[in-house]
Structure formats: C-alpha cells, structure tokens
Amino acid sequence: MTMPPPSPARCAGALVFTSGQLARGGDGAIVAGGIELQAERALANFAAVLESEGCTPADVVKVTAWLTDPAHGTAFNAAYRRLFGEPWPARSTVVSALLAPGALIEVEAVALRP
C-alpha cells in the first residue's frame, strides 16, 4: 500500500491536530529495543511536532494512542506520565496492528494553541 505523505500537524483556528507519531529515529527507521524505547521516542517525536506549532504537552486536550499489544500499556503509561502532568489530557488507547513494520506504538493528539 502506498501512503500519502502526512502533514506532521494541521491547525484549525486555535486547535492543532497532530498526525500519528511513530518511534522513528533520525534516520527514519523504527527504533529497536522494545516498547519502553519506542514509547519514549514516539512521545519525543510527538512533543517536537507540538513545539513546531507553538504548543507544549500542557496544551494537549486529547490523545489517541495505538499499541500493538495490551501488555505494552504499563510501559506506555510510564512514558506518558513523564511527558504529561495533571490535569491529564482526555485519552483513548486502542490495540491494533500498525502499518509500519516493527512499530509497537503510534500517538496523535489535539492541542489548544496558547
């Protein structure tokens, strides 16, 4: 399947919608090392997209995360807690296969630009 190139984020008024962020390293490849490293990298990539749009994790109002295995939830929650503080954004977590080979997690969000 050929995928169209996604925009890292799009804005609609004060809302910022991020595309799904994977655990890609600087070379574009999915990082190896398991869910802990992938969760940290995906969230770091996600935070970089937010920053490029003038937002921080504190501006996020809704997160959607996809995990390939429900057993990955604990590691994802640990990384999530390190990035976000209270009040926690609304969140949906879905278990499903991902299109990128080797990817264990994908994260997208909606933020309210300050």
Computed over its alpha carbons, how large is the radius of gyration of the chain? 13
> pLDDT over 70 for what percent of the chain?
96
pTM recorded for the entire structure: 0.92
CB 66 within 8 A of CB 20: yes
Alpha carbon 83 to chain centroid, angstroms:
11
Q: Could you give all domains of the chain from N- to C-terminal order, each with its CATH number?
A: 10-112 (3.30.1330.40)
pLDDT of residue 2: 56
**Which amino acid, one-letter code, is at 49?**
V
pLDDT tens track for 48-94 = 999 999 999 999 999 999 999 999 999 999 999 999 999 999 999 99
